[in-house]
């Protein structure tokens, strides 16, 4: 399988190959992710689009071997700690849910989660451009993760992202091995409407 274009992923309309090449494997090698590589991933997230330029995303990260990595990994649920614990770095993706308005008051930022999703996608595309893969997970214990990263008030946890070099499917437990293929997407006609629903 080519790392540039996964088998079975064919767009119905012309699109840059970075979009179909990005997917979320679970098997990672033992290759470390350097701090310089982490900074490149964070730099990509930094330049994500942002409503009113509030940039509400916050990314708490740790590399494998650090105590903070183990603390984040141990908040994952289901099979996630088994495979994500082999990634080179884990990110907790968080949004700051308030902004300071023109009157100097803290008010709700209704686009915080939307903007934070843009930052995650920027990070994922940057990872792929570096020969790495990013896999976001919603399977975590919210209270444990909040405690592990000292989550401030007025912040929301969105996901944990594992980033590393892709490993062989054979390295996964049997129940995960069969799922180690790029997923498909709904057709454009199902996800879009011209003019109105």
The CATH number of residue 78's host domain is: 3.40.109.10
Structural domain contains residue 188:
no
| Structural domains counted in the chain | 1
Structural domain contains residue 197:
no
**Tokens encoding 129:** 């451009």
> What range defines the domain where residue 170 resides?
29-175
Question: How many beta carbons lie within 10 A of that of residue 196, not counting itself?
Answer: 4
pTM of the model: 0.93
Tens digits of residue pLDDT in 60-112: 999 999 999 999 999 999 999 999 999 999 999 999 999 999 999 999 999 99
Q: Do 105 and 174 form a contact (C-beta atoms < 8 A)?
A: no
């Amino acid at each position: 399988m080519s790392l540039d274009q996964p088998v079975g992923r064919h767009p119905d309309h012309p699109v840059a190959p970075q979009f179909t090449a990005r997917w979320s494997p679970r098997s990672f090698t033992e290759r470390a992710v350097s701090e310089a590589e982490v900074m490149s991933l964070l730099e990509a997230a930094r330049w994500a689009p942002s409503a009113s330029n509030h940039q509400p995303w916050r990314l708490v990260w740790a590399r494998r071997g650090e105590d903070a990595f183990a603390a984040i990994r141990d908040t994952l649920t289901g099979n996630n700690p088994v495979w994500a614990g082999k990634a080179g770095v884990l990110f907790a993706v968080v949004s700051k849910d308030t902004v300071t308005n023109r009157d100097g008051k803290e008010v709700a930022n209704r686009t915080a989660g939307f903007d934070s999703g843009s930052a995650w996608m920027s990070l994922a595309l940057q990872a792929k451009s570096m020969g790495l893969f990013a896999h976001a997970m919603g399977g975590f214990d919210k209270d444990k993760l909040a405690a592990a990263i000292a989550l401030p008030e007025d912040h929301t946890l969105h996901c944990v992202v594992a980033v590393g070099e892709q490993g062989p499917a054979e390295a996964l437990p049997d129940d995960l091995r069969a799922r180690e293929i790029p997923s498909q997407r709904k057709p454009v006609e199902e996800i879009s409407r011209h003019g109105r629903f």
